[in-house]
Amino acid sequence: MSKKCCCGNDKTVQFKELAPTMEKYANTPGSLITILQKAQEIYGYLSIDVINYISDCTGIKPAKIYGVATFYAQFRLQPIGKNLIMLCQGTACHVNGSEQIEESVCEYLDIKDGETTSDGIFTLNNVACLGCCSLAPVMMVRSSEGDETYGNLTKEKVTKILDEIRARE
């Protein structure tokens, strides 16, 4: 398979934040996961355009990249909402009812883990321990304002928090 460097083409300008990663890894076998992780970190998700750009740089066919991206749960192919809800499912949170909290959030927002609300305000992700187990059950909400942590959640409390966030959007 022929591999070409993408430096200097139009897409390098469009994807300039990712270009240094491509320079470093495009020709290194076995680096696709690393490249996809970096692309998602920068753009929030893996768009068709970014997959095509990675394909141009690495010589790996877009269908293969897409296959890898869909195989691993860590990769997103759709944009995330303005607020990323990271709902802890670690041991302490689990013992303290995180499953019921998840049920409430899913029911209230009408989405499942990994999905985004139709208004684009929320994306829900179940995550491992957030490191503040004494507040279990816990969720962290990431937005352009930064990360905010909410602890000792109850069904009532979590829906109130979601209402407040939606009201300020």
Binding ligand FES (rule: CB under 6 A), the pick from 132, 157, 159, 161 is: 132
Q: Which of 28, 70, 91, 154 binds ligand FES (CB under 6 A)?
A: 91
Interacting stretch for ligand FES, rule CB under 6 A, among 14-22, 45-53, 133-141, 160-168? 133-141
Report the 3 state secondary structure along 59-84: CCCHHHHHHHHHHCCCCCCCCCCCEE
Does residue 121 bind ligand FES (CB under 6 A)?
Answer: no
Residue ranges in 96-115 that form contacts with ligand FES under rule CB under 6 A: none
Minimum distance, C-beta of residue 93 to ligand FES, in the bound complex (Å)? 3
**DSSP character for 28?**
S
Q: Pick one of 18, 93, 101, 162: the residue that binds ligand FES (CB under 6 A).
A: 93
6 scored as a contact of ligand FES (CB under 6 A) = no
Q: How far is the CB of 103 from ligand FES (least distance, A)?
A: 17
User: Can residue 26 be called a binding residue for ligand FES (CB under 6 A)?
Assistant: no
Residues lying near ligand FES in the complex (CB under 6 A): 88, 90-93, 129-133, 136, 138
